[in-house]
């Protein structure tokens, strides 16, 4: 894979990781899409949950960058499929998991 792709993956991992850290450790829940302060009952729990899962996405990006750097081009297709599935599952987990931190509507 090209060096540009690896650099792009590392920049994306840093960007996503920064948002995850800001949400988890600084409690910046306003960075969460669709955040409604009137509906949230446990702001700290929500920040921890979403921040942690966002950091998992950053870790997946780093893993893909490492594999792209180390493996030949032929092996990278499976890594990208696993990445898409992993991000999809984490997204579903975040959407469903946030319900426990909100009041019933």
For residue 99, the 8-state DSSP code is G
- pLDDT tens figures, 10-63: 999 999 999 999 999 999 999 999 999 999 999 999 999 999 999 999 999 999
Distance, CA of 91 to CA of 98 (rounded, Å): 11
Rounded to two decimals, the pTM is 0.90
Distance, CA of 20 to CA of 62 (rounded, Å): 14
CB-based contact 20:61 (threshold 8 Å): no
Mean pLDDT of 67-83: 80
For residue 28, the 8-state DSSP code is -
Q: What confidence tier does 1 reach under pLDDT thresholds 50, 70, 90? A: low
- pLDDT tens figures, 82-93: 999 999 999 999
Nearest residue to 58 (alpha-carbon basis) of 96, 22, 4 = 22
Q: What per-residue confidence (pLDDT) applies to 74?
A: 64
Q: What confidence tier does 72 reach under pLDDT thresholds 50, 70, 90? A: low
Q: Quick count: other Cβ atoms within 10 Å of Cβ 46? A: 21
Give, in degrees to the nearest 5, the angle at Cα 87 between 86 and 90: 85
């Amino acid at each position: 894979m090209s060096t540009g792709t690896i650099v792009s993956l590392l920049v994306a991992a840093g960007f996503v990781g920064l948002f995850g850290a800001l949400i988890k450790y600084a409690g910046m829940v306003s960075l969460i899409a669709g955040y409604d302060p009137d509906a949230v009952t446990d702001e700290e729990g929500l920040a921890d949950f979403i921040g942690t899962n966002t950091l998992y996405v950053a870790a997946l990006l780093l893993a893909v960058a490492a594999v792209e750097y180390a493996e030949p081009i032929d092996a990278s297709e499976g890594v990208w499929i696993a990445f898409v599935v992993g991000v999809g599952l984490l997204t579903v987990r975040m959407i469903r998991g946030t319900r426990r931190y909100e009041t019933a509507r």
